A and B are shown apart, each in its own frame.
Chain A
């Protein structure tokens, strides 16, 4: 039992996780037996709405359809296969131990809890690790073309934050292949009639009736039609909120509207300040930049990161001899070298650039060099492993990574925060379940590489189908219609907001506001946060938000495809989340994982946690006043992985 307990006051509401007790390796199996089931013949009486068709949403919708439920699945793109899960490059972790190098379910669990800087719920993480092995089986069965060794067996590679080789991959596009696997299963269910798919349809509000989530309000993005949809349970699998920073590795359409609307209706939003900055992204080239492109972390397997030793050294890399290069990760962290977790790698990159030793235009970049690997393994092997990534880099920058080192810089990539969920992935609103990046669980304050794909599919294939069944078995299928007052009110609110945005006709475009908000957050709530900086952000955000509502220009009408209108609604919701993020970051005066408070660091510049006061999940409730959200705490207990100062030396 850990000696550290969070300091919880008598008035702070405490949240329980609903996780079973007992030895951790039995908890999920025990829970699965104890959870209620819905008889196969009865499943067709229940309707489930799944918002989002990525790994978590697509897998959940397909599986629920296979089980016999009536499912409606929604996505804002033109096809479910476009979900941003598709862009994940590096790979998916699983505790198969095919490499015989010491991996196990317990080790993956341990690495994930430690990698999350001891801010995740142990039971959830253990389950994630446990079902990881089933995920690979399912994907192979669907025809995901994982990389193979000559004997025909699956290949593995290493990834950041791990000393074992447990990552399965499909060239440099594992996300695409896993998503296509889930999409193909989803397609089969759509054809079978168990899943009804609504593409180009955006969820704009949640409907809560008698305290339960009972449906959504959507906008058809082609006709503008606002519609009501009713169900017995709702699943949100709508991804992360990285686009609050405007520049991130997310797709342009990624947004937080679905979870934010749910939050305003009563779903707690946990740890929004835990945002992940990925160390290897292509640097910004100008003000026109619309998004940042990720270079897979798997590149760190073979690439060596360095900067010139001398400040302001502008020589081309070929002209800088070895002794004048600092391979700073290898020097500072001998055990993990270039494979330290993302937050450690990102902060080190920022540090060397702030010290004036950055490379490329603007001095915001470090080198990721493959010269040694090409010499050691040959160009053919490197091409096999990273071919498409090298091509992508060359296309974007004009430089050839086979000939000169890549330039990379950290960028916003993933959000560990999200809607609070219990062990059943149910939010604080009964009947509202949340899967994938949209929920807060499993990764703590920092996500390890190759684990997002794992979590999305774990939630979608192997958790939600059970926990949803458990919930549905306890509520009656009541054939409720959409003519209830709660639906009418939600629809009226959505229509009202849309009309308002179209009617302002100010002088600034949506993008100009989004850019300004993004820059403010990157500066004040990005890699390094300070009390003063966060307070400045909190003073500025409401002012900028008010200006948005008075001065944004959105042309056209609702009754047509209107991309400005779509963006406007999303940015309006980002403005509200931004404030909560900064409030969360300000209140958490420790540093942990991706949340780095300059005031709380070790002598070596690593994140310094305060386990006595902050070993809890900060689950915020909307109070009606954006400046004063209510804090609910879920205390975190570490029975199996004892909190220590993370060291990757």
Chain B
């Protein structure tokens, strides 16, 4: 297959960026999207042109590093997969594909298609955990977790922290990401002790990072490669209300670096 690629290039965070057009003349339908970019890059290098920088690692849809906006959709046209799992049989000979980084104020661009998502780490640091120091745990079977709760928790825990939700949301909101973690831990008995404090902490951190608010659009869940449900946002809002009723204030906010 022959494809035309329109790719966002940007030398670094401080420089202006622009779209550049490339040809990908020998694309096999069995190639993954990133393998196609690898081939384009090899060609660029041999022509002494700076290859396209993009984040990737596991190439099997679990690490959350790959972060490409493909034809305006986070991770491309197939639901429930990441860009690295997208295969070229999803495209036709002669297609034009536009490739952009995640666009959000809270995800500053580093170079070309690679962005800085450390805001996500800081949201987790503000409360996305259960405080259980090593060695303090009771026997694993001492805490019964109803099977349906375990399944719901697992559904939410499947979030890979890629940021597709933020990139798709017109408000660049991180509610699905924060909600997923809050739901994952909130469904479990182990997570009850810190449940409401966790919600108010993480939402406050999210706001401090500059993410937008949620207006129930739902683009986030639609593009999520792990198909996290909007229910997690509803749960988070309930936990937040509980925190307010208890009079809880955010604790343990993590300083946001100035960029």
Taking Cβ atoms with an 8 Å cutoff, the residues of A that contact B are 59, 62-63, 66, 77-82, 84, 86-87, 96, 98, 134, 136-143, 145-154, 170-171, 173, 175-177, 180, 183-185, 187-188, 190-191, 197, 199, 222, 251-253, 285-286, 288-291, 293-294, 391-392, 395-396, 398, 461-462, 465, 507, 509, 511-512, 553, 555-556, 560-561, 563-564
Contacts and interface: CB of A to CB of B under 8 A. Distances in A.
B64 A392 contact: no
Given A152-B146, A395-B85, A137 B111 contact: no
Nearest to A177: B157
A298 B81 CA distance: 22
Residue from A145, A151, A509 whose CB has the most chain B CB atoms within 10 Å:
A145
Given A188-B129, A252-B56, A288 B46 contact: no
A392 to B, nearest CB: 7
Chain B contact-residue range equals 35 or more
A291 B58 CA distance: 9
Interface of B: 11-12, 28, 30-32, 34-36, 38-39, 42, 45-46, 48-51, 53, 55-65, 78, 80-81, 85, 87, 89, 110-111, 114, 116-118, 120-121, 124-126, 128-141, 143-147, 150, 153-154, 157-158, 160-161, 184-185, 188, 190-191, 252, 254
Contacts, number: 221
Nearest to A62: B134
Contact of A288 (B28, B133, B144, B147): B28
- What does DSSP make chain B's interface, helix, strand, loop or mixed? loop
B50 A286 contact: no
27 contacts: A62-B134, A77-B57, A78-B55, A79-B117, A79-B120, A81-B64, A84-B63, A134-B137, A145-B184, A146-B150, A154-B140, A185-B129, A185-B134, A191-B125, A199-B118, A251-B59, A251-B63, A253-B57, A290-B59, A395-B78, A395-B87, A396-B32, A396-B87, A555-B45, A561-B12, A563-B51, A564-B45
Contacts of B12: 560-561
B62 A176 contact: yes
B190 A290 contact: no
A136 B64 CA distance: 25
Given A187-B128, A512-B42, A395 B157 contact: no
Given A145-B184, A560-B11, A555 B48 contact: yes
Given A145-B150, A154-B140, A291 B59 contact: yes
A148 B131 CA distance: 22
Given A63-B134, A82-B64, A185-B132, A285 B30 contact: yes
B132 A142 contact: yes
A145 B154 contact: yes
Given A152-B147, A396-B85, A82 B57 contact: yes
Nearest to A253: B57
A285 B134 CA distance: 44
Contacts of B57: 77, 82, 84, 251-253
Contacts of A175: 62
A72 B184 CA distance: 28
A204 to B, nearest CB: 19
